[in-house]
Amino acid sequence: MNNFFKGTTFKVLLTVAILLLVATVFAAASSASSSPITKAVSFVTAPLGKVASYFAEKADSFTGGFVSSESYRKRVEELESEVAEYRAELVDYENAKKQLNSYEEFLDVREENPDFEWVYCTVIGRDSADVFSSFTLNKGSNHGIKVNDAVIYRNYLVGVVTEVNPTSSVVRTVTDPSVNVAAYEIRTGEIGYVSSNSEQSLSGKCSLSGLDKNTAVSKGGIVCTSGTGGIFPKDLIIGTVSTVEQSTTDNSAFALLEPAADSKDISSCFVITSFGES
């Protein structure tokens, strides 16, 4: 028996059986509606088709919710307009707050001087070429402001109006050599006039001149307007004495002053348009 399985006859019969089996399978497959290759291709591509359909549906959904660039542009313009409005409201708020603060600071001055008539102003310009720190206000003759009106910050004298236009005015400060103010030192009562020369002006100072050579005015003294001349109300603070020196041109002394208000830091002020008798 072992020799049969090892023999040539068995091998021939096995080969024939295998050929008959392959033929049978092939015939069965050929009688179907589609070939094995077609079925294999269909098996592979069917899932791919489902995936493609899924993404096509998502794409349709995305297209349905898409907003055009023109719509975005219009929305951006609307938002920019809203931001501009909010910024303008913020500016108005800040200006109103500054004005309220200025009124509160001026309240004591007004209570002590009920005869004052005044105009609230803001600084709208500074002349960088002017070494004496003049500046321009946002109100003028249309608001009752006149040349020689006193300009104050709190109860400090800042300067005087020297030029007036309908809607603006120019102020020269107490450190400007062209400005002269009748004044006195409050402790001693000594009188003189506040002015400055170019050297003092460039250092941001002014001086109380016309004092006796043996003056009792000393460092730390406060100098105020005397009201003489009718241009400036009385008792506005001009500055504080830093040193007392002897004049080199005559037999007198002068007190170098540190102005009470630094005009470079002022953004708003009051113009006194009228006041009663001193």
Lowest mean pLDDT of 30-44, 50-64, 247-261, name the range.
Answer: 30-44
13 or 39, greater pLDDT: 13
Contact (CB, 8 A) for 248 and 88: no
Confidence of residue 56 (pLDDT cuts 50, 70, 90): low
DSSP 114-157: TT-EEEEEEEEEE-TT-TT--EEES--GGGT--TT-EEEETTEE
pLDDT of residue 4: 54
Lowest mean pLDDT of 57-61, 134-138, 168-172, name the range.
Answer: 57-61
Lowest mean pLDDT of 53-62, 208-217, 228-237, name the range.
Answer: 53-62
- The tens digit of pLDDT for each residue in 94-105 reads 666 555 565 566
- The yes-or-no verdict on residue 85 having pLDDT over 80 is no
- The tens digit of pLDDT for each residue in 123-140 reads 999 988 888 889 999 999
The number of CA neighbours under 13 Å toward the Cβ of 115 is: 7
pLDDT of residue 128: 80
- The yes-or-no verdict on residue 178 having pLDDT over 80 is yes
pLDDT of residue 21: 60
The winner for highest mean pLDDT among 158-162, 246-250, 259-263 is: 158-162
Q: Which residues does 207 contact at the CB level (< 8 Å), separation at least 6?
A: 194, 195, 196, 200, 254, 255, 256, 257
Residues 100 and 241: their CA atoms lie apart, in Å, by 31
Mean pLDDT of 112-131: 87
pLDDT of residue 37: 47
- The yes-or-no verdict on residue 108 having pLDDT over 70 is no
pLDDT of residue 245: 94
- The tens digit of pLDDT for each residue in 66-77 reads 556 777 777 787
Residues 182 and 225: their CA atoms lie apart, in Å, by 6
- The yes-or-no verdict on residue 160 having pLDDT over 60 is yes
Mean pLDDT of 180-205: 93
In CATH, the number for domain 117-274 is 2.40.10.350
- The yes-or-no verdict on residue 12 having pLDDT over 50 is yes
Return the closest-CA partner of residue 135 out of 233, 266, 225, 239.
Answer: 266
pLDDT of residue 40: 46
Mean of per-residue pLDDT scores for the chain: 80
Report percent pLDDT > 70 for the chain.
67
Contact (CB, 8 A) for 192 and 175: no
